[in-house]
Amino acid sequence: MTRLEGTSLFLARRVLGAAGTMLALATVVFFLLKLTPGDEARTAAGETATTEQVALVRDRLGLDEPVALQYVRYLGRLVTGDLGTSSSTHGSVGAAIVDVLPGTTELVIVSVALSVLMAVPLAALSALRATGAGDSLRRVLVIVAAGLPTFWLGLMLQDLLSRRIVVLPASGELSLGYDVPRVTGAAVLDSLLAGQPLAAWDAVQHLFLPALVLAVPQAGVMYRVTRSEILRVLTRQHVLVARAAGVPRGRLIRKHVLPQAVTPLIILIGVDFGTLFGAAILVESVFGRQGIGSLLTNAMTQKDTYSVEGGVLVVGLIVVLSSLVVDVVQALRDPRVLAAEMGR
């Protein structure tokens, strides 16, 4: 098998696997929602609706059809990319998700970047000074930081940095007075595209605190994983040989240790990227930001089936795609991954 064939096979398997995962997710979510108690038509009709009005809504939403038929119609719409109409807003579910997803995406990307920036240097330093009271203290502090409840951390930092010492804004995405045309829905990016650097800086300030709150627990986990891996790589023969050959310490870390040690970190980033979309809801609530998490929560309480399905599928797709990206990156970095694929 040629390398090209091997690569194609690798990608094809991953893509098919992703599609299968999405189909399974869509099916599980659909039937789970049907099993949860509550009448969607009743909620959609309103608190003071009469019995006749509820029946009318049930008929209009197709909820009086057999569940199997509803499922088939649902899959048929998904194939064409139609996520349906929200029973609570009567707007397109797809449009509602597009409205809020960029904000969460921006938050998650910055959060992951902050996690890496905090974790990797600290892990490298800690691995190089792996003994002594200083290192023990560092590790304890990181474990504590990793265990801090996100909601509590958000409120504490907000109280300190937005109320007592007014350094950063308490909530929102952009200060009043900035008129930035909405292009992508991500405030920083839209401000840059509009050629408004001050607005972009304002958006960064609004983003920093919520991203930091999301990043701290993740950084703790990244630190421990990276530190362990660096310690392991430091004992490898090629590193020992390089040290014996007099390679400077900094170069040794950058060129011979870190590239080998970041493999689990890359996998962790891929996993984190997806899960942070769900974890972001607490942070979005504290800092008054619209996001996919709050859309999903509202949809659940309203028993807005299509919105829940659409939101879960989109988050699921993000998780699947980020896993796919991690797999591809690993394959590019490590020829043994592709070789194993070709050998199957």
Partner 1 sequence: MPVQLRRTLRGTLALAAAGTLLLAGCTAASNSAPSGAGASDSRTSTLVYAYNNEVTTLDPARTDYLQVDTVDQSLYDTLLGYEDGKMVPRLASGFTYSADVTSVDVTLRADAVFHDGTPVTAADVAYTFDRYKRLGVGIVGQIASYDSSTVVDDTHVTLHLTQPDALFMGALSRIDILNADLVSTNAGTDDGQGWLLDHDAGSGPYQLDSATAGTFQTTRFADYWDFDEKRPETLVFKRVDEHSTIAADLQAGTVDVGQVDANAQDALSAKGLEVDKTPGGSQVVIYFNTTHGTAANPAVREALRAAFDYPGALSSIYSGQGTIANGPTPTSLSCRPDLPTAQQDLDKAKQLLADAGLAGTSLTMRYQPVFDQQAQAATLLQSNLKEIGVTLNLEPIAFADYLTSLGNPETIPDIMLLAESAAFPDTGVMVTKTFWSGATTTNKAAYANPQVDALIEQANAEPDADTRCGLYSQAQELIDADSASMPLYTVQTLMGHRADIGGLDVMAAPGGLAIRELTVGN
Among 42, 139, 224, 243, binds partner 1 (CB under 8 A): 42
Task: Copy the structure tokens of residue 195.
Answer: 């050629």
Rule CB under 8 A: say whether 247 interacts with partner 1: no
Rg (CA), the chain: 24
Which residue, 146 or 170, is less far from partner 1 as judged by CB? Answer: 170
Residue 18 corresponds to which tokens in the numbers above? 């992703």
Tell which residue, 205, 207, 206, 227, has the closest CA to residue 146. Answer: 227
Reduce the DSSP state of residue 85 to 3 states and report it: strand
Among 177, 195, 246, 343, which residue sits at the site for partner 1 (rule: CB under 8 A)? 177
98 part of the interface to partner 1, by CB under 8 A: no
Tell me how far apart the alpha carbons of residues 124 and 262 are, in angstroms, rounded to a whole number.
11
* Owner of token pair 């308490």: 170
Number of residues that bind partner 1 (CB under 8 A): 71
> What whole-number distance in Å separates Cα of residue 37 and Cα of residue 339?
50
d(C-alpha 103, C-alpha 277), whole Å: 10
Least CB distance to partner 1 at residue 27 (A): 23
Using the minimum distance from each CB to partner 1, give the nearer residue, 5 or 59: 59
Q: Looking only at residues 99 through 128 of this chain, which bind partner 1 when binding is defined by CB under 8 A? A: 99-100, 103, 121, 125, 128
Stretch that binds partner 1, among 236-244, 260-268, 290-298, 336-344 (CB under 8 A): 290-298
Q: Quick one: which of 25, 29, 57, 280 contacts partner 1 (CB under 8 A)?
A: 57
Q: Which of 4, 47, 147, 237 binds partner 1 (CB under 8 A)?
A: 47
Residue of 97, 107, 202, 260 interacting with partner 1 (CB under 8 A): 202
What residues from 66 to 95 belong to the interface with partner 1 (CB under 8 A)?
85-86, 88-92
**Which tokens belong to 249?**
């310490």
Q: Which is nearer to partner 1, 82 or 99 (CB)?
A: 99
Instruction: Give yes or no for residue 184 binding partner 1 (CB under 8 A).
Output: no
Give CA separation, 230 vs 112, 318, 332, 337, in Å. 20, 29, 21, 21
149 touches partner 1 (CB under 8 A): no
- Supply 155's token pair: 């409120």
